[in-house]
Structure 1
Amino acid sequence: MFLMKSREWLIPMAILGLGLVFPAGARAGVDIEAAKALARQNNCFKCHGISKEKDGPAYTAVAEKYRGKENAEARLIEHITSGEKAKFPDGHEEAHKIVKTSPPDDMAQIKNLIDWILSL
């Protein structure tokens, strides 16, 4: 059985503590206001609430669904940039609106939006 010396446990516990104190978005340097502005510009809040479900899932529910999954960021980037089908509560499907940035196709803005959503 592995036993740590008296001070060896401090570093892993400090790292764990930082993860609890600072959410993922804060650690990653998410620009929350820029992410919300991009969401507003693209009318994302028409279908998604931050914590309230609308026609689409709440962003907090999206974050929970993808929490701890390796492909979360890539999956969500694909979803908002490809126009793939989105399923609605009544069962119908529509092409998800492609998020537009200015300048066009600015992946830093897209990534910031996704990082913000995943940090909730």
Structure 2
Amino acid sequence: MRSSPRLVQALAAGALLATLGLPATSFAVDAAAAEALARQQNCLKCHGVDKKKDGPSFKETAAKYRGKSEAEQRLITHITSGEKAKFPDGHEEEHKIIKAKEPDIQNLVQWILSM
């Protein structure tokens, strides 16, 4: 089976970014689609892009996970499993489960991590 030149380029770019400690998917993010999904799923009710609300800002989340290999999977699990989220006043609630196709969820998470 032959690899396409685009696939080879993508794999090489991913390897380089991983070496630099950057997310391997930073070039593939569809920001408009991710933001639309965040709005549709009401993520922006509790999270701001750069301002903390009831939940951390997306920029805070990106900073927390920057350079961590498990970042993408950790966030996917958080937004798809309904696990507990802690609020500023100390109470906990189940995080809203994002209802979308897997590639759209991955794009959303990659968008958040790219900030």
Q: TM-score range by the shorter chain?
A: 0.7 to 0.9
Q: How many residues align?
A: 97
Q: Are 2:110 and 1:115 aligned?
A: yes
Q: For the Cα contact (< 8 Å) 1:25–1:115, is it kept in 2?
A: no
Match of 1:94 in 2: 93
Q: For the Cα contact (< 8 Å) 2:26–2:110, is it kept in 1?
A: no
Q: CA deviation at 1:50?
A: 0.1
Q: Are 2:36 and 1:41 aligned?
A: no
Root mean square deviation of aligned Cα: 1.9
TM-superposition CA deviations, 1:4-41 (whole Å, max 9, x none): xxxxxxxxxxx78xx7xxx8588431000000000001
Greater C-alpha Rg: 1
TM-superposition CA deviations, 1:32-57 (whole Å, max 9, x none): 00000000010000000000000000
Q: Which moved more, 1:76-85 or 1:27-36?
A: 27-36
Normalised TM-score (structure 2): 0.78
TM-superposition CA deviations, 1:58-115 (whole Å, max 9, x none): 00000000000010000000000000000001000000000012xxxx1100000000
Q: Are 2:52 and 1:57 aligned?
A: no
1:65 and 1:52 mapped to 2: Cα distance?
15
Q: Which runs of 4+ in 1 moved over 2 A?
A: 23-28
Unaligned runs of 5+ in 1: 1-14
